[in-house]
Amino acid sequence: MSQQRHGSTPGEADGVPAFPDLPEATIARLPEYLRALHHLAETGAETVSSEGLAAAAGVNSAKLRKDLSHLGSYGTRGVGYDVALLVDQIEYILGLDKNRAVCLVGVGNLGHALAGYAGFASRGFRVVALFDADPKKVGEQINGLTVQHTDDLERIAAEESIAIGVIATPPGTAQAVADALVAAGVTSILNFAPGVLSVPSNVDVRKVDLAIELQILSFHEHRKASLTALPGGRSAPPASGDQEAVGS
């Protein structure tokens, strides 16, 4: 089977919907594939096998092939995937060809670091506005942008057509910021503040909680230590691949 490009926009021909209804797990893996593909392109690679791309993205090749089949991309037998074409397809599905406008609310230590991150522009995002409620921070220059007061959020969001809002405030003010973003017409929010936000059903929220990620890693450390403490000092599951429960 050959790799397909359906017209000028991926997924428009051969009865394939113009915008596929992708499983959430597939959506979560597409940015990993894209990161790996960008790296391959930078090294001069024009094609890549499913095994090679899967290894670079940290998934198994069967899962990768299934994910990419949702995009109408099947590769070419004996050749693999066209790197540039696959980049175009994934960027289209992720909407990265839109160069979306992003605002950041909260320019404390974390917000300041996020505002200075240069990687957003190379991945299809424009940070167009920074906001904070602290008068001492309003007017500060960060990465070429002037910090505005949160009272001006609604006006600036309309002027800049902001699509995504990033919350990097203390947890106590995160809900009020989310309410302001929603009132300003922002329908996608990336939340770095601990806690759960209440938003309308048409607003998508992604949460990044570093403490939770550390707790999950702590579980794995605890599990490894428990396995090592068993008779024989076993530090890995049996060769059969069957994971055993440790204690109750």
Has 58 been labeled as part of a binding site?
A: no
Has 72 been labeled as part of a binding site?
A: no
Determine the Cα–Cα distance for residues 33 and 38; give it in Å rounded to an integer: 9
Three-state SS across the chain?
CCCCCCCCCCCCCCCCCCCCCCCHHHHHHHHHHHHHHHHHHHCCCCEECHHHHHHHHCCCHHHHHHHHHCCCCCCECCCEEEHHHHHHHHHHHCCHHHCEEEEEECCCHHHHHHHCCCCCHHHCEEEEEEEECCCCCCCCEECCEEEEEHHHHHHHHHHHCCCEEEECCCHHHHHHHHHHHHHCCCCEEEECCCCCCCCCCCCEEEECCHHHHHHHHHHHHHHHHHHHHCCCCCCCCCCCCCCCCCCC
One-letter amino acid at 170 equals P
Q: Is the distance from CB of 123 to CB of 94 less than 8 angstroms? A: no
Has 110 been labeled as part of a binding site?
A: yes
Has 111 been labeled as part of a binding site?
A: yes
Has 107 been labeled as part of a binding site?
A: yes
Determine the Cα–Cα distance for residues 111 and 202; give it in Å rounded to an integer: 26
Binding residues for NAD(+): 106-111
Binding residues: 106-111
